[in-house]
Each structure stands twice: as structure tokens, then as C-alpha cells.
Chain A
Amino acid sequence: MSVQSNVEVHSEWGIVSARQAGRNLAKELGFAGVDQARITTAISELARNIYLYAEKGEIVLEGIEGKEAGGVKRGLKIVAKDQGPGIKSIREVMEDGYTTSGGLGAGLPGVKRLMDEFDIDSITGEGTEITTIKWLR
């Protein structure tokens, strides 16, 4: 499949670069306009979280293939990793209404809903890794 692209995020420029890379890849994979916007928004939110809370990290983008009933499906995988402080209570940040009131913007539940698959792993003091996938319909 297509090569993965890594974008360093330590400034707002990094956020824009990650968005750009994500949009290009989404277009290349054949995602429609609204889905492109969703993928880009998800990347934007994840990158922003890195920038605001971990200061430094990276966004890794990759076109992937997965199995489904009728054969093979294609998708776009986003991995957001940082070596920041980590998230103390993942359950809390994954709760709807929690992050929006705390000023985190759309928050992780919002990102999860924009995408099809979502996984988060975080260790306090070590960092956070979020993996999320959007499949091509």
C-alpha cells in the first residue's frame, strides 16, 4: 500500500501540515468531500491535543487495507503519539460532555464519532497513543 507519512507536531504549523497530509492521502484513497473534511478534522483535533498538552509528538498517516465480507476494504489510519504527561483518567476524557465543558474543543469522543475505529492507550508520565481508522464506504 501507500507509504506512511509522519508529521511532527510541535507548533500550529505542524497541525496544518498534518491536516494537509491527511487531506492529500484521503483524496488519493478516494474519500468524498465530507469524509475528507471529517478525516482532516479528526487529525486537526488530535494534533491540537498534542500541541496543547504534550507540546511535542507526531501524527502518522497510512493507507491501509482491511478484510470485510465482500473482500478487501481500504481505509486511512491515523496514529497520534506523544511523550507528554499522559491522560490520568481515560474514562473521563472519553465521556461525552466532559471535554467540551473543559475547553478541549470537540474532544476525543467527537474524534471517535468522526471515524470508524478508535483506540487509545495512555500511560501517565510516558505519553499517549491514539489510533483511529476511517474506512472507505
Chain B
Amino acid sequence: MADAYRLMQEQYVKILETYLQEKNETGLYQAQQFSKKVLENQISPEEVVSLHIEALEQFYPNLPQGARDSFDFLIEIMMGYGMAYREHQILRDKQKELESEINVAANMQQTFLPDEIPEMDELDIGVISVPASKMSGDYYHFIKDDNDSLGVAIADIIGKGVPAALCMSMIKYGMDSLPEQRLQPGALLENLNRVVEQNVASNMFITMMYGSYDPRVHHFYYSGAGHEPGLFYNYAEDRFEDLYAKGLVLGLDRDTKFREYHKKVEAGDFIVLLSDGVTECRTDEGFIEREELTRMIREYSHLSAQEIVNNVFYQLERLQGFRLRDDFSLIILRRKV
């Protein structure tokens, strides 16, 4: 530290002397470069003032006393900046520490999500889930039951970031602890609702859609808890319709019942499940319309389900200038021909 100061002092004397002799832009450019160096060496503002007065005393031994004293005054003024500067450095280090902690947590959180998408002869499945920052408040899950039905869950914790992520881990354990054979969507949500109601602060809510796809009869059974409606694409009619399931959000009322809906799925039809981060993509002109989303999906519908979700995500990310405002999850289940 003391050495750094002395080194800076030598350089400062040199460049200031050159500038005072030549008074040109090169000299000022040197000063600008020097200011980067003092920052690198963590020289604080009051020390810079001190560098200056020491240099001046060298050049002008007969500096008027008043001028000299005025620098003591200036040093005193710079003390506040100096303290703020040092605090800033400490806070910056602290922030780095926090960031690396969050990175670890985010990696842990990734392990809550399925490692791979289930392979099925009957279904082409695509999934993308991207957090707005590091940790996600979105959750999705696939379960295959004894009858080869595929259970698919998508949940969105109201809010985002760390609190939402903590809450999401609870949903994961809640789902894991449910009896395996019980995959009827309505009953599953009722169970989960009780878990959430008991374990989560009353100001935290979770929306969720749970569906079960029976590949033997190609029916999709689903229930929703206040979740963003999905989409159903009718291939024969080339038409999208909303996949809406009425139901209260999880964690609000212990005795909520969830109605079960179902949909017959024909070859080429597909089911789109999403979090509100998809529809609440905000551009300069406001939220995107659901029509915009269906237009994009249709544009890529000749591709595989995974390529569709990847492309839609890329387009929407681009629309927002590559800055997500909310966690983004999009799942497509398409019945193969």
C-alpha cells in the first residue's frame, strides 16, 4: 500500500511536470490514464489531493501559504469521498461473494428440474425453462406412472428470484412426496394445495397446471390452479384454442377443489403449457399478444417440439432486447402421427 503510493507519487510528479511545461492534450490524456491507475491501486481521493500538493511543493517551493493551506481544506472535503470509496470497494467484494453464493444455489436448483425429457413413442416433447436472473420461480416436472401415462406439471411462484426459488424447492418436495399412483390432476392439486397452504407464508402464491396424458386413448386430463392458460393446437383445423382450467391459486384456501378437464388429442395436435413469463414478455409497445405467440409457434410447427420451444424463446428474448423480465417456461407435447 505504502509502496503503491510512493510509486504513484513518482509518476504523478513526472506527468504533472510534463503537462505544466507543455500544456497539451497528450498531458491530459496521461492524466486520464493515471486516474485508472490510481483506482487500480486503490488510492483514495484524499491521497490524490495529497499527491498533488506534494508535487506542487516540489515545483514551486515558494507556494503562497494560503494556497498550501487550501489543500488541507480540500483534503478534509475529500475525506467523505474517500470513506465512500472504501465502502464501495467493500460492498463490491461483498456483492461478488453473494453472487458466487447465488451461483451455487442456482446450480443446486437446476438439479430440482428433470435431467432429461421422457422419451415416448406417442409424444414429441419440447421444454425450455429460463430464469430471468439466476434463480427461477418456475418449476416443471414429468412423471410416468404405472400405466405409462405421462404426468406433466408446470408451476409459477408469484414473484421471482431467491424467495420464489426457495418456494419452488418446496413444490418439488411436495410433488415427490405425493403417492405415486395418484396422478389424477384434480386430486394432485388438492394435495399439493394443502402442502403449500401449511408451509408457505400467506403472502406467497403458486399457480400451477397439471396434466396427465394417457397414450393408450390419447386423452389429456388437466386441472389448473390459477395458472396462465395453455394452448391447444388442433392440427386438422389448423387452429389454436386456449387450454383453460379454472381453479384458485395454491396456498390460498386449504379446501380448494380443482375441476378436471380433458381433451381428446389427435395425431399432429399439440398441447402448449407456459408460465406467465412467456405471455408477459414486454416490448416497447407493451405486452405481446397471445396471437403473437401462436403465430410464432405456427411458424416453427414443422420443426420438432424442442426446436419449436427453442425458437419461440429466442424470438421472444430478442423482442425484449435479450433481457428477460420474468422467468420463462414453455412446454410442448405433440402427438406423433
- Kindly specify which of A76-84, A107-115, A119-127 makes contact with the partner chain: A107-115
For B72, the closest partner residue in chain A by CB is: A33
Secondary structure call for the B interface: helix
Complex contact A97–B83 (CB within 8 A): no
Complex contact B87–A37 (CB within 8 A): no
List B residues 65-98 near A (Cβ within 8 Å): 72, 75-76, 79-80, 83-84, 86-87, 90-91, 94
For B77, the closest partner residue in chain A by CB is: A37
- The verdict on B50 contacting chain A, using a C-beta distance below 8 Å, is yes
Instruction: Find A34's partner among B47, B90, B91, B94 (CB 8 Å cutoff).
Output: B47
For B71, the closest partner residue in chain A by CB is: A33
For B84, list chain A residues within 8 Å (CB): 100
Show the binding face of A for B, using Cβ within 8 Å: 32-34, 37-38, 40-41, 96-97, 100, 106, 109-110, 113-114, 137
For B50, list chain A residues within 8 Å (CB): 32-34
For B80, the closest partner residue in chain A by CB is: A106
Instruction: Find B91's partner among A97, A114, A137 (CB 8 Å cutoff).
Output: A97
Complex contact B72–A96 (CB within 8 A): no
Q: How far is the CB of B78 from chain A (nearest CB, A)?
A: 8
- The verdict on B183 contacting chain A, using a C-beta distance below 8 Å, is no
Complex contact B79–A41 (CB within 8 A): yes
For A100, list chain B residues within 8 Å (CB): 84, 87
Complex contact B46–A110 (CB within 8 A): no
Secondary structure call for the A interface: helix
- A97–B90 alpha-carbon span in the complex (Å): 9
Complex contact B75–A33 (CB within 8 A): yes
- A37–B53 alpha-carbon span in the complex (Å): 14
Complex contact A41–B2 (CB within 8 A): no
Complex contact B86–A110 (CB within 8 A): yes
For A109, list chain B residues within 8 Å (CB): 87, 90
For A96, list chain B residues within 8 Å (CB): 87, 90-91, 94
For A110, list chain B residues within 8 Å (CB): 83, 86-87
